[in-house]
Amino acid sequence: MSDDKKKTNEDAESKAEETKADGASKADEAKADKPKAEADKPKAEADKPKAEADKPKADEPKAEADKPKADAEADKPKADERKAEADKPKADAEADEPKADEPKAESDAESESDSESESESDAESESESESESDEAEEQVAARAALDEDDDGKPKRDGGARVEPLPGESTPDQLNRVATGQTDWRHSIGVVLMAVAIFVPQMGVYGMFDPWETHYTEVGRQFQVRNDWLSTYWHNGVGPDGWSERNFWSKPVGSFWMSGLSLKLYGYGAHTTGKQLTMGHPEWAVRTPFFLCALFGIFCIYIMCARLFSRRTGIFAAAILATAPMYFMIGRQAMTDMPYVGLMSGGLALFVLGVFGEREEMKRKSLKIGKWELSWPHSPTYYIFLFGFIGFMTLQLYAIIPPLRRVPLPLKFLGGKVSAAAVISLYAVIAGLLVFFSRKIKTRNEVYILGFYMVVGIAGLAKGLIGALQPGLVVLLYILGSREWRILQDVVLGRGVVVAICIFWPWYHGMVMRYGRSFWNELFGTEQLRRLTIGEQAQAKGTFEYYIKQIGYGLFPWIAFLPAALVRAFSLGLKRTRTAEERARLFICIWFLAGVVLFTITLTKYHHYILPAIPPGAILVALFLDDLIEKKLSAPRVALMIAGGVMAIVAFDIIKQPAHWVWMFTYLYTSNWARGVPKAILDGKLIMDSNYMIYTLSFSAAILGLLVLPKWRKQVAWVAVAIGVVIGGYTINWYLVTCAPHWSQKRVLQTYYKKRKSPEEKLIAWQFNWRGETWYTAASVVVSKSLNNKKIIEWLKKRTGRKFFFITERSRYGSLRAMLPTAKGKKTLHIVDDSNVHYVLAAADI
């Protein structure tokens, strides 16, 4: 007999003698009290100390069952409550030292020790013991299979799938997912994938009218006027050039991004229109918006990889990065990506902080005399501090100088108080927050405070809707699930102060400078009116409006979304939910909140549904992971539905490819339905590009998932890879091809090439599409009025000169009649008609 077996027998004999000392009657009583059900649950024996003392036979298979579990969790410590429960059986297992490759020898040793310690044990009890041991081994094997990733490594390293164990009663552990660690190689791979999709041709095509050019010009004016507080816009020069001054319909966040990036790239206050048109300022303008999109992608990857699995994280990042609405708007200098990218990243941090297991941080201390100062020593904490302090510093540096000239009706120490002094108080509050943040103990608190911080920045980009929508998602989840305990985890007091410090100083400064007029225009006219009354005819629709936009914006992944929603609801609405299922329910509510909120608003633009795209991508990723893990009850039905949805949406896009360009432009009727290559509009997409080849390949992958169940894992990865190719091809082909028709850049390049001197002015006649202002650095002569009296008088004072005109193609026929001289009428001709929307003409007046 081996040394291990001898040791096992000696331990068993020792335990048997202790048991006999309690008396035969006590042993009989313990035997009688042992239910048969306990034989099927060897792990539950850990919670029954009496059974442990009286029945060593049950302890030994449990030790065998728990040892692999303890080994699998060695690299990932759990919370104190679960660890305490696991330590006792682990100690027993270490004392016995059974070998994993000798289960039969261990079983023999148990039988020998049992026969020596209990003479009354019969063949039936021995059979029962062997059955218990076999069942324990089966459970260990099943548990180990669940805890292994694709490479056979413990899944604790890259995202756990943990359900509460029998006997666990700690409320906190029952409500949290054991979080795994991300792989740095996967993290870098996700970033490189996003860069490869977004960046290659980001700055080679012109900026789209009207929003991208409009908002960028507001950002340029910060440098022109040396005032980073006030958002300002004017159209140009001439009769209607100064008809607009202040631009208060949007908050400052996205304009700061554009203005600061232009400054860093070298486009300053004295940059001319020719430099803007003939150069590539688009790289500077779009970079910060891409970074916002990347932030959302990366945070969602981290959340999914740590709470669910690495594979789910990679899938979610790839799906979001290749969703047309997300990556196209991620290439646009609009307010929507700072709002959605930051909000999505913030909600991902919230999910990780609330549903992930508590992670204690190491601490560092510094002694200063009798005082000892300690703080969390963790990269997570330092990143939060750097972001918070950095943003507060930049914000206060931007808004305090203009406010020095704004007196308030207040006096302090005999002198007047300026608005700058009031705003400086935010620096004091921020300093106190930083000082007291040293008391933070867990990463979860840092994640949640990070949520408040980025939501505050999102509010600076989009206004109240950007700041309040994340709170609405959290509130709806709490009301729906009745998990009021979450309110204890969201550090509401400190979090609200963090959000106010980030969100409110600029609004406060603008109110002190401009008073009620600013407040009424931004929050009354622009935000509440759009929610309750509606703005324009083409921005209205019925309840199914956004269902279609989600289909176009999440193509081709929309194929899996219906089944993914059903799957999430079926898990989330169960009476008893695991921590992972609760997280899924939160993501589902996140998606539905975005859809419902913007469906009930009366103003409807295509891109307003963008907030629903990130949670939709997560749900699809979870569905694909469940499909691979064979957790779906009816996978064939789900995949057949996916094929049908894919076919319907693909047919609609082929029929009208302008659906995608409409997602970030303004008019969707008349000639504005044009603006994509003629070959596409003629329905020749399948012959004129490789796009349909990729789309058909994706459809084939769906078919493969249906008919090749044994290969679903490989086919799912192929589908994701094809989706990435579709996304990269679309963003770098579709947008680049559409840009010459939706941007004025190419037309205005012709103007700068053809004009002989700056005296040959460009006139925007009955034209107000914003690109003419941006690409001329606000030097264009503007005539917006349909009444031509002002422009006629202006031209009469400048006869004998040559002028260029830019106008809509449909208005060119009326231009000749407006010209005040016969020479002008005779010499009027088109210089550039390459754009399907605009024309460039010239005439000698």
Q: Per-residue pLDDT averaged across 704-715, rounded?
A: 64
Interval 757-768: pLDDT, tens: 999 999 999 998
Tokens of 653: 């896009």
Q: Which of 169-183, 374-388, 778-792 has the lowest mean pLDDT?
A: 169-183
Q: Please tell me the distance from the alpha carbon of residue 339 to that of residue 292, in angstroms, as a whole number.
A: 8
Q: Residue 295 pLDDT more than 70?
A: yes
Short-list 483, 198, 489, CA closest to 349:
489
Q: Per-residue pLDDT averaged across 462-466, rounded?
A: 83
Instruction: Find tokens 């692999």 and name the residue.
Output: 68
Q: Per-residue pLDDT averaged across 293-320, rounded?
A: 94
Strands 838-844 and 829-832, sheet pairing: antiparallel
Radius of gyration of the chain from its Cα atoms, rounded to whole angstroms? 34
Q: Residue 53 pLDDT more than 60?
A: no
Per-residue burial over 584-610, b if 16 or more Cβ lie within 10 Å, else e, is bbbbbbbbbbbbebbbebebbbbbbbb
pLDDT band at 56 (very low <50, low <70, confident <90, very high): very low
Output the DSSP codes for 797-818: TTTTSEEEEEEEGGGHHHHHHH
Q: Per-residue pLDDT averaged across 340-346, rounded?
A: 95
- The torsion angles phi and psi of 768, rounded to 5 degrees, stand at -150, 60
368 beta partners: 371
Q: Residue 695's pLDDT is what?
A: 56
Interval 775-818: pLDDT, tens: 999 999 999 888 899 999 999 999 999 999 999 988 998 999 99
Inter-residue contact 201 to 739 (CB < 8 Å) = no
Q: Residue 742's pLDDT is what?
A: 87
Which pTM value belongs to this model? 0.76
Inter-residue contact 305 to 159 (CB < 8 Å) = yes
Helix/strand/coil (H, E, C) string of 654-693?
A: HHCCHHHHHHHCCCCCHHHHCCCCHHHHCCCHHHHCCHHH
Q: Residue 538's pLDDT is what?
A: 53
Burial of 284 (0-12, 13-18, 19+ CB in 10 A): buried
Q: Residue 685's pLDDT is what?
A: 43
Tokens of 219: 């950002």
Q: Residue 602 pLDDT more than 80?
A: no
Q: Tell me how far CA of residue 434 lies from CA of 85, 386, 424, 449, in angstroms.
A: 38, 10, 16, 12
Short-list 461, 466, 182, 172, CA closest to 347:
466
Q: In the predicted model, what is the mean pLDDT of the chain? A: 77
Secondary structure (3-state) at 608: helix
Q: Which of 48-57, 390-399, 725-734 has the lowest mean pLDDT?
A: 48-57
Inter-residue contact 824 to 841 (CB < 8 Å) = no
Q: Residue 647's pLDDT is what?
A: 81
Q: Residue 668's pLDDT is what?
A: 58
Q: Please tell me the distance from the alpha carbon of residue 764 to that of residue 783, in angstroms, as a whole number.
A: 6
Q: Per-residue pLDDT averaged across 198-221, rounded?
A: 92
- The torsion angles phi and psi of 731, rounded to 5 degrees, stand at -65, -30
Q: Please tell me the distance from the alpha carbon of residue 377 to that of residue 363, in angstroms, as a whole number.
A: 5
Short-list 274, 257, 259, CA closest to 221:
259
Interval 10-34: pLDDT, tens: 555 554 454 444 444 444 444 444 4
Q: Residue 17's pLDDT is what?
A: 52
Q: Residue 519 pLDDT more than 80?
A: yes
Q: Which of 129-143, 181-195, 695-709, 795-809 has the lowest mean pLDDT?
A: 129-143
Q: Residue 415 pLDDT more than 50?
A: yes
Q: Residue 568's pLDDT is what?
A: 84
Element at 123 (helix H, strand E): helix 123-146
| Sign, Cα dihedral of 203, 206, 211, 216 | positive
Interval 642-651: pLDDT, tens: 778 878 888 8
pLDDT band at 636 (very low <50, low <70, confident <90, very high): confident
pLDDT band at 501 (very low <50, low <70, confident <90, very high): very high
Which comes out higher in pLDDT, residue 385 or 679? 385
Which comes out higher in pLDDT, residue 642 or 339? 339
Angle between helices 613-628 and 545-553 (to 10 degrees): 60
Q: Residue 717's pLDDT is what?
A: 78
Q: Per-residue pLDDT averaged across 151-167, rounded?
A: 39
> Any residues with CB less than 8 A from the CB of 340 and at least 6 apart, and which?
296, 326, 329, 458, 610, 611, 613, 614
pLDDT band at 709 (very low <50, low <70, confident <90, very high): low
Output the DSSP codes for 304-345: HHHHT-HHHHHHHHHHHHT-HHHHHHTTS-SSHHHHHHHHHH
Q: Residue 146's pLDDT is what?
A: 45
Q: Residue 329's pLDDT is what?
A: 92
- The torsion angles phi and psi of 220, rounded to 5 degrees, stand at -70, -30
Q: Residue 63 pLDDT more than 60?
A: no
Q: Please tell me the distance from the alpha carbon of residue 319 to that of residue 325, in angstroms, as a whole number.
A: 11
